[in-house]
Amino acid sequence: MQPRSTLAGWAAVGALALAQQSENVQLDVVRFYRSAGAVTAVDGFCRVPVSAVSPLPGGGGAGAAYRVSLTVHDSAGLKLTSQSWSQSVPAAMLGVASASLAEHFAFAARPGRYAVDVAITDSATGRVSRQHLEFRAYDAPPEASDLLLATGIREVAGAADSATRPGEIRKGGLRIEASGRPVLTPQQSSLGYYLELYTPRPETASVVLRVKTVAGVQIVATPPQQLPLAAGGGAARGVLDLSGLPPGSYRLEATASGRGGGGGEVVRRSGDFGMAGFETAAAIAAAPRPERPDRFTTLSEAQLDSVYEPLIYLMEASEQGLYPTLTVDGKRRFLRATKRRIGSTGRSGKPTAGFARGAPPRSRDGAPIGAGSSSGTGRRMRC
């Protein structure tokens, strides 16, 4: 049996991003309070600069790859949980200036102090890059969560639109494109924000947003927004248009007043972001576009695995072993690349199971896997 302070769950998913920031691995966490169980829900982000990896040997556009090892300890040094997974880097990304990949992980923690350690191992050279971060899980209900910044927020329109897309995280009926510290460009200058406010009784909060330099100089402020809160609280969210903001590092500060224990209380939360110049915008425009939706887009992890199984017999020995370690998105990219390489007929000249047009994925015993199979959105480990 795990101790009471153990983490309740874990998820990890990779997303492609671009950043005009440090060449070091970046690690950030954003905390939210959940009254059910009195736990802190943590969204973590690890940004891996492409400069930390090297092309895989063999050439031929193999790209690069790295392995993520992530552990969480409590204040006594007890390792509560650990997880590791592999991620591939498209060859075209290696030449993009300031490119990075963002890894998202999520877990729930009981009150106390925790340390998160991440190690990124380059598959080509074995070089290891490390980062360390400490945080405290809430001991009591806070006035507000941390501020989550994003490059996009959408509201789920219905059951058909409820799936979480690559790069998104789920917050109730919202899907938020978040990767830690957003970097905007002149062509993509919208900054999303999400802040949970907690109150034991219904009331109205006045929310103001301010964009400041890292030195604290205010650049712009929004008019106060009146946000009705039900008993238990609510969320302030929206998107700011920051067109014309000069390149540099900035901080978004959110203040909420008129809620909490006293009518005049002011709660402040902030998050860092950056604005890149036209040079980075040009690199984004030249970067490879996301894969067009195809049959792999909607397959669950179990269905992807069933498509992969017959391909083992068509692969060289050096190609085997990587697929099982990938995230769900990584598995989709792997199967797309394999399909392009060996074609729909395979090396044997016969249609390859799962790649034949219209053939449904099948289980190990050959039975078709129905559309009702559970979908996988990332690595998940129960502690």
From residue 200, give the alpha-carbon distance in Å to each of 197, 203, 226, 257, 259. Answer: 10, 9, 18, 15, 10
* 133 shares its domain with 149: no
Q: Nearest-CA neighbor of 7 among 84, 85, 94, 107?
A: 107
Residue 356 in any domain: the answer is yes
User: In this structure, is residue 192 part of a structural domain?
Assistant: yes
> What is the number of other CB atoms lying within 10 angstroms of the CB of residue 13?
24
Q: Which CATH number belongs to the domain containing residue 207 in this structure?
A: 2.60.40.2550
Element (H, E) at 221: strand 218-221
Choosing from 258, 290, 322, the residue where a domain stops is 290
- β-pair partners for 72: 81, 116
3-state secondary structure of 228: strand
Task: Give every residue of the chain whose pLDDT is below 70, as ranges.
Answer: 1-22, 59-62, 97, 162, 259-264, 278-293, 316-320, 342-383
Predicted pLDDT at 342: 66
Same domain, 62 and 150: no
In a shared domain, residues 220 and 354: no
Asked which of 290, 323, 346 is the last residue of a domain, the reply is 290
Query: What pLDDT is recorded for position 381?
Result: 35
Residue 342 in any domain: the answer is: yes
3-state secondary structure of 275: strand
Residues 109 and 167 in one domain: no
Q: Determine the residue type at 69.
A: S
Both 159 and 248 in one domain: the answer is yes
pLDDT in tens, 313-355: 777 666 667 778 777 777 887 888 777 776 644 444 444 444 4
Whole-number Cα distances in Å, 181 to 249, 271, 358: 10, 8, 41
Burial (CB < 10 A; 0-12, 13-18, 19+), residue 327, is buried
> Is 56 in the same domain as 78?
yes
CATH of the domain at 110: 2.60.40.10
> Same domain for 196 and 92?
no
Single residue among 103, 121, 139 that ends a domain in this structure: 139
Token digits of residue 68: 């993520």
Q: Domain check: are 52 and 131 in the same one?
A: yes
Domain interval for residue 324: 301-380
Question: How high is the pLDDT of residue 348?
Answer: 42
The answer to whether position 202 is within a domain reads: yes
The tally of domains found in the chain comes to 3
Is the same domain home to 374 and 236? no
On whether residue 296 sits in a domain, the answer given is: no
Are both 90 and 147 inside the same structural domain? no
* pLDDT recorded at residue 317: 67
Q: Comparing C-alpha atoms, which of 244, 302, 299, 253 is closest to residue 273? A: 253
Q: The whole model's pTM is what?
A: 0.71
Same domain, 41 and 119: yes
Say if 295 falls within a structural domain: no
- b/e per residue, 194-204, with b = 16+ CB within 10 A? bbbbbbeeebe
